[in-house]
Amino acid sequence: MGYCAVEDLRRILPENVRIGDQNIGRPVPGRPGGSGSTRSNISPNEAESYILYANQYIDGRLRPFYSCPLRRIKSYETFLETDVAAGTSVTVTVNDSGAFIRTDLVRLQNKNSMETAVVLETPTITTIVLDTVTGTYLTADDSKISILEYPDPIPITAARLACSFVLDRLFVAEQAPDVSTYGKTQRNLAREAIDDILNGTVLLFGQEHTGRRFCRGSLYDAYKSPAEIQKGQSKE
């Protein structure tokens, strides 16, 4: 899986560009000319390939300053308020569920075990529903739940780049101009986000640095030994 998911592409792509496995158009009654077709434009596997291309572009730009590929981090963590048992569609109670969003990847852990799950929904301000839990997590063991994700704005940047690649391909296939205006806009927004990271305006939290941009200022031109210090002359 790349820096974003196929679902992220679906949220950014125009409504008439569909990702799926439906290859045969099914006209909707009452809409002539086949305008009601639900034929997919690209498959999920192709969408994942474009996400991979976006990953390569991002890694190539960021590698001088960050260790790539980037890694997921715990962006939020909280203790469980009630015990959690194994099962499907498991409800988890926390102090505040506001930080959790549907489709989030989360980690359940205690002193002895750890696993990941996906958020199905957040029905109340204190509960979260997870797709599958295989272990048991007790509050007595200081069990926690945390959100695992790539640092902002990497997911949306990868999604914008992947969408721009998809749209350019579709425009060429339709004998339209070789570059989509919408795709160009998404690509420019992604590049601006990457430029903000490179010039230090945006910091990728939790990532390892490989360049000197984030070093302490006192480390620049530091003396290697006391012998390098020039002694002043006496004034008396």
Q: Which domains does the chain have, with CATH numbers?
A: 6-69+153-198 (no CATH), 73-149 (2.40.30)
Look at residue 28 and tell me whether its pLDDT is greater than 60. no
Give pLDDT, residue 90.
96
Q: Which band of pLDDT confidence, cut at 50, 70 and 90, is reported for residue 22?
A: low
Give pLDDT, residue 204.
93
With a pLDDT cut of 90, the percent of the chain lying above it is 63
Q: What is the mean pLDDT of residues 38-56?
A: 88
Give pLDDT, residue 56.
96
> What is the C-alpha to C-alpha distance for residues 57 and 160, in angstroms, rounded to an integer?
12
The crossing angle, in degrees rounded to 10, of helices 181-198 and 44-62 is: 40
- pTM for the model stands at 0.78
* Residue 171: Cβ-neighbour burial (10 angstroms; 0-12, 13-18, 19+): middle
**Could you tell me if 48 and 3 are in contact, meaning their C-beta atoms sit under 8 angstroms apart?**
no
The angle at the Cα of 91, spanning 113 to 109, to the nearest 5 degrees, equals: 15
Q: What is the pLDDT of residues 118-163, one digit of tens each?
A: 999 999 999 999 999 999 999 999 999 999 999 999 999 999 999 9
**Could you tell me if 94 and 145 are in contact, meaning their C-beta atoms sit under 8 angstroms apart?**
yes
Looking at every residue in the chain, the average pLDDT score rounds to 84
Q: What is the pLDDT of residues 190-210, one digit of tens each?
A: 999 999 999 889 999 999 988
Phi-psi region of 174 (alpha: psi -120 to 50; beta: other; left: phi over 0): alpha
Give pLDDT, residue 30.
42
- Work out whether the CA dihedral 58, 61, 66, 67 comes out positive or negative: positive
Q: Which band of pLDDT confidence, cut at 50, 70 and 90, is reported for residue 26?
A: very low
User: Which residue in this structure is represented by tokens 């194994």?
Assistant: 86
Q: What is the pLDDT of residues 74-123, one digit of tens each?
A: 999 999 999 999 999 999 999 999 999 999 999 999 998 999 999 999 99
Q: Which band of pLDDT confidence, cut at 50, 70 and 90, is reported for residue 54?
A: very high
